[in-house]
Homo-oligomer: A and B are copies of this chain.
Amino acid sequence: MADNLAQARHDLAIANRVVSYEGIIDAFGHVSMRHPTKPDRYLISRSRSPEVVEASDIYEYTLDSEPVTPLPDGIRGYGELVIHGEIYKARPDVNAVAHHHNMSFLPFCNSGEELVPLYHMGAQIGEKVPFWDSRDEFGDTNLLVLKPEEGRSLAKALGPYWLVLMRRHGGTVAGKNLTELVFRTIYTVRNAELQLMCKAQGHALSPLTPGEAKMAWDRNLMPRPQARAWEYWSTRLKKAGEYPAGAPKKASKSAARGKAAKRQRPARKAARR
C-alpha cells in the first residue's frame, strides 16, 4: 500500500486510467482502495468515468460509504459505493476493489456459466468465481447495488474469493493491493475472453489443475511480474498522454511497486511529454 495519502490518491488515479486504457472499463464502473493508514476508510473518485479521474477527484469514505467530510457543493459520489464499503468491511485482507461491465464477462453474467482458469494468467480468477443474483434476495430491481443490504449481500456472495460475477450486470474484483487489483481486473477478463473462444472452438475445456492454479497465482503475484506489469501500464498511459496530472513531489516508496519498479520508470517517455 502507498505510505501516504497523496501518493495513494495519485496511484488510484493511475489505476482508474489503466483499467480504462486497457479496455476493461468504459463510461461506467469504478475503482477504489482502502485508505493507506486508516483501515476504516476507503478512497474513491467522485462520480466520473475512470478514464478521466484525477487525484483531486478522490474523496475519503467511511466503511458505511459516507463521505468523511461532506462533498463540495455540486459534487456527487457514485451510486454504487456500498459495493466497495461492504467488501472492505467484510474482508480485512482486501485493500482494493474494482467494479465493471466488461463485454467478455457479460455472457457469463447472463448465462451463469462458471469461469475456470484456462492458462497461467487466468489463474488470477482464484479458486472459484461465485455468482450473485440480485433476484435471489431482492426480486426485481434496477440491477444496481445501491442499498447497504445489497452491498452486504454481494460481499457475502464474494465470500473468501477474489471475483464475483453479478447476474445480468457485471463483475466485482478484489485485491490485496492496488497493483494486484489492476492485474486481476485485466487478466480475469482475458481468461473470460479465452473461455468464450475455447467454447467457440468446440472442444472440451482443459482447465488448470487446482495445484497449477495455486502455483500460477502465486507466481503472478511475485514482485517482478507485478512491477513489470505496472511499468508497462503506466508507460502506456504516459505515451498516450493519459497519465494523471500532479504526481506527488516526493518519490513513491509504494511497496506495491518496489524499488526496482521505480528504477524502471522510462526517462525517455517523461522527456517526450
A residues contacting B by CB (< 8 A) are 26-28, 47-49, 51-52, 54, 74-76, 79, 101, 103, 106-113, 118-121, 140-144, 167-170, 190, 193-194, 196-206, 208-209, 211-212, 215-216, 218-219, 224-225, 228-229, 231-233, 235-236, 239, 241-242, 245, 259-260, 263-264, 266, 268-269, 272
A140 and B120 CA atoms in complex are apart in Å by 12
* Contact between B199 and A111, CB atoms less than 8 A apart: no
Distance in Å: Cβ of A187 to nearest Cβ of chain B: 9
Residues of B within 8 A of A111 (CB): 198, 201, 203-204, 206
Q: Which of B52, B106, B144, B190 sits near A194, CB closer than 8 Å? A: B106
* Contact between B206 and A142, CB atoms less than 8 A apart: no
Q: How many copies does the complex hold?
A: 4
Residues of B within 8 A of A242 (CB): 239
Residues of B within 8 A of A198 (CB): 106-107, 110-111
Q: What is the chain B residue whose CB lies nearest that of A235?
A: B52
* Contact between B76 and A205, CB atoms less than 8 A apart: no
Q: Which of B140, B232, B260 sits near A209, CB closer than 8 Å? A: B140
* Contact between B206 and A103, CB atoms less than 8 A apart: no
Closest 5 CB pairs of A and B: A140-B211, A111-B203, A142-B215, A120-B143, A49-B232
Distance in Å: Cβ of A105 to nearest Cβ of chain B: 10
Q: What is the chain B residue whose CB lies nearest that of A50?
A: B232
* Contact between B196 and A200, CB atoms less than 8 A apart: yes
